[in-house]
Structure 1
């Protein structure tokens, strides 16, 4: 679920245009498509507003925070830090450093201290705990620094995008004054990023990282040309960021279930595995950053291999235009699937005792166990090519599940219970063993796919703490 949190705070700014930030927050919120809208009324003090924001932030789903001045980011970033800890990095797209402390600030305006406050040095009541470390911050587009800010950067070594680790989870902050030529901000600066450059930078980040949240701030409406530009820019930034987590799951799932022939071409991950009939092994997955890639590339790839043209529309909620285009070309729908995720610790606590289920390290036994449980060992042709760490979990010959771990995530595949042992807790025991195995390897999050209409399986997973991440389906044409 996508939520936009509107915070019409202007009291953190001393710009003459600051009162316009109230209207700007409302306009930005209206530009976020398909979102639940939460408006937080400002309090008598910045600390009171921050407390209201803390209470209003949803626990689940992707959150877009719109301001208001940059100070509205205090609680959303703090919430992301509490959730993700050391893995969180804050990417600060801003013309200004916002790194003053109360002692160095020339103006005393909080929106010029917010990043320093997030780093643990802010006014009383406006400093989160825990705080970010300097190596968790990357600054982009910054071109106007006060002396105290420049000294702080030199002392702490805060850098740019090149400092981000591949496994980092990002919170992205956008102060609209990072843009070149924008007029509807309190303190415009020359030589900024174009809207296209900003979009391309965010698209590149979303392709490599899970983005935990997005903040867009400092819109003080004054020029219709800015409004027109933002009506295109804001939805695209939201689309890219909101799709990042589903894409990171799908990227890992593609590696965890490898096709024999794989190509990246014209906005697609193209996959073909002769002799294997699963759609995932013989389909095209749209790559991030391209809303509607070329369908002709899929059709040429599949025609050359004598297989039906099949597209995994994933995540479905971010590819409406692609889905409509495929439907118009005669592609039919199949395989509606829900992807669910959970914290490993949550599943461990809920699933209880593995009850005899555990890992089978001898791979030579895997085919016989698949055969014994579901009468088919055909998936071994794919499983033998898995490169990330994988293990089969089994409970005697009553049930099996495959676990594949990469970059802190474990995917759950091939979950099956023998018909004679259903409704006896086999799947729960397998998931308990799988979560324990994942925890031992430092993988603190799990994902799985389940048929959208399989109510019994969904109820089991929900009872163990899994929640919906996204959906996908396939479209095929012979």
Structure 2
């Protein structure tokens, strides 16, 4: 997967398992199960602190991609989660899929093994030299599948008041930790401590899919694999790529969810995980297409919605590289592919620093004139009604003399750019650059640290301009339609 870096840490020192020597081989096998990803192998040191330092160095080199850390024992999660906490602050939520809480301290641990203390260490109580700064708060942690707590761990959980994954804030950035002993021992036994009463693989995938549908997943860890049975390896060959796909697709999907809110359809309905959009009199696919779920997309749900409205069914296949199964199913059902789109993203501060304006840009305060100004440049049906439904906070920008426009809509840390248009006679004169610069400055005032925009994949001139202003590729999508 081109947007994923696998960091392999074959650490065994933190484990108390009698068969812990298998963990290094398990880490290598897990890494090999992620197709097409960049792969970094961390050299394991003789101390936990030494391996943590090397892991930190590997993480710093993988910025901008989803990092999947594979172990090794659960102690390998120390640095990836600490790095996520430094980056996302209080927005970070850690969902801990594990049979065990890993919430002991050096004073309470029955075994003295670090893999049973790593989460408590991340929460600020652990062996000297391993406690990160900042530490997590208990409110940032959700336990999932935990069923074997030591007495001191159970007391801590009750006192700290940890919640579950369903209660995470809407804007949470989620790190998903998976200790494979979260799986029920009846279906998976290649771990040091197989435990009854766990999740079945499909249940684990359903949990992670639900998280990825609601939140941006900013990291994934998979640990504690001790290869022992061929059937367990076969199970992982199906499970691991799907876990990675769901987590890697979450960021692009959250951008698309924001874009759907920013450019609102007349009717937006959720059925079977689909976001189904319909707008009378508009010829824009964005507000007349179905946005699919990441898992279990029943095409019949979307077809029924559009059939009820006398309109051809149209699906926005996004993110394209994570929806290949759906794309193939639609092709088999006679849907034709068209309108490929690239989605670009940029740090707001980067756009501000690069988009030096060369002409005046005004923020149009009268919302009633937004559609009129843009329609004059765009000329497509239904624009007026769509623009009239756009919610605040939003800023409509117009270059001097109405030679160009842009719309910026802020939403939970992101700002989407829409309605970019320039009069043909004024292109290549810095109109778009000036508008984007002003839009970025407005976005920064709204607390939006990142920006996104959508551009037709064949529009090489626009993509080159946006690249000069700091935008890079996030994902792509296309539509499939059938009468």
TM-score (norm 1): 0.94
Structure 1 equivalent of residue 279 of structure 2: 273
1:101 aligned residue (100, 105, 118): 105
Residues 43 and 426 of structure 1, relative CA distance in 2, 3 Å threshold: same
Secondary structure of 1:243's aligned partner:
helix
Secondary structure of 1:77's aligned partner:
helix
Moved over 6 A (4+): none
Note if 1:64 corresponds to 2:68.
Answer: yes
How much has 1:44 moved relative to structure 2? 2.5
Structure 2 equivalent of residue 11 of structure 1: 13
- Distance in structure 1 (CA, Å) of the matches to 2:109 and 2:333: 60
Residues 209-253 of structure 1: CA distance to partner in whole angstroms, max 9, x if unpaired?
Answer: 111111010011112232222222222222221111111111111
Residues 283-314 of structure 1: CA distance to partner in whole angstroms, max 9, x if unpaired?
Answer: 22212322xx3334444443443433322111
- Distance in structure 2 (CA, Å) of the matches to 1:133 and 1:352: 41
How much has 1:19 moved relative to structure 2? 0.7
How much has 1:70 moved relative to structure 2? 0.4
Structure 2 equivalent of residue 45 of structure 1: 47
Instruction: Write out aligned runs for 1:175-324 (5 A).
Output: 175-181=179-185, 182-290=188-296, 293-324=297-328
Residues 107 and 301 of structure 1, relative CA distance in 2, 3 Å threshold: closer
Residues 7-65 of structure 1: CA distance to partner in whole angstroms, max 9, x if unpaired?
Answer: 11111112111110111111211222332222222122222211221222200121211
Instruction: Write out aligned runs for 1:50-449 (5 A).
Output: 50-57=52-59, 58-181=62-185, 182-290=188-296, 293-352=297-356, 356-374=360-378, 378-396=382-400, 397-449=402-454
Residues 367 and 151 of structure 1, relative CA distance in 2, 3 Å threshold: closer
- Distance in structure 2 (CA, Å) of the matches to 1:305 and 1:151: 56
Note if 1:463 corresponds to 2:468.
Answer: yes
How much has 1:435 moved relative to structure 2? 1.6
Contact (CA 8 Å) 2:320, 2:476: kept in 1 or not? yes
| Worse-superposed segment, 355-364 or 212-221 | 355-364
In structure 1, the gaps of 5 or more residues are none
Contact (CA 8 Å) 2:344, 2:453: kept in 1 or not? yes
| Worse-superposed segment, 415-424 or 214-223 | 415-424
How much has 1:419 moved relative to structure 2? 2.0
TM-score (norm 2): 0.93
How much has 1:169 moved relative to structure 2? 0.9
CA-atom RMSD in angstroms: 2.1
How much has 1:388 moved relative to structure 2? 4.6
How much has 1:334 moved relative to structure 2? 1.4
Contact (CA 8 Å) 2:346, 2:470: kept in 1 or not? yes
Secondary structure of 1:393's aligned partner:
strand
Residues 314 and 148 of structure 1, relative CA distance in 2, 3 Å threshold: same
How much has 1:171 moved relative to structure 2? 0.2
Contact (CA 8 Å) 2:12, 2:23: kept in 1 or not? yes
How many residues are matched? 476
- Distance in structure 1 (CA, Å) of the matches to 2:429 and 2:35: 44
Structure 2 equivalent of residue 453 of structure 1: 458
- Distance in structure 2 (CA, Å) of the matches to 1:256 and 1:206: 20
In structure 2, the gaps of 5 or more residues are none
Residues 107 and 355 of structure 1, relative CA distance in 2, 3 Å threshold: farther
Contact (CA 8 Å) 1:255, 1:388: kept in 2 or not? no
Residues 56 and 300 of structure 1, relative CA distance in 2, 3 Å threshold: same
- Distance in structure 2 (CA, Å) of the matches to 1:389 and 1:362: 14
Residues 368 and 309 of structure 1, relative CA distance in 2, 3 Å threshold: closer
Contact (CA 8 Å) 1:4, 1:64: kept in 2 or not? yes
Residues 131 and 354 of structure 1, relative CA distance in 2, 3 Å threshold: farther
- Distance in structure 2 (CA, Å) of the matches to 1:43 and 1:235: 29
- Distance in structure 2 (CA, Å) of the matches to 1:161 and 1:297: 27
Residues 183 and 376 of structure 1, relative CA distance in 2, 3 Å threshold: closer
How much has 1:89 moved relative to structure 2? 0.6
Contact (CA 8 Å) 1:207, 1:289: kept in 2 or not? no
How much has 1:444 moved relative to structure 2? 2.2
Residues 72-118 of structure 1: CA distance to partner in whole angstroms, max 9, x if unpaired?
Answer: 11111122112211111111111112122223323221111111221
Secondary structure of 2:163's aligned partner:
coil
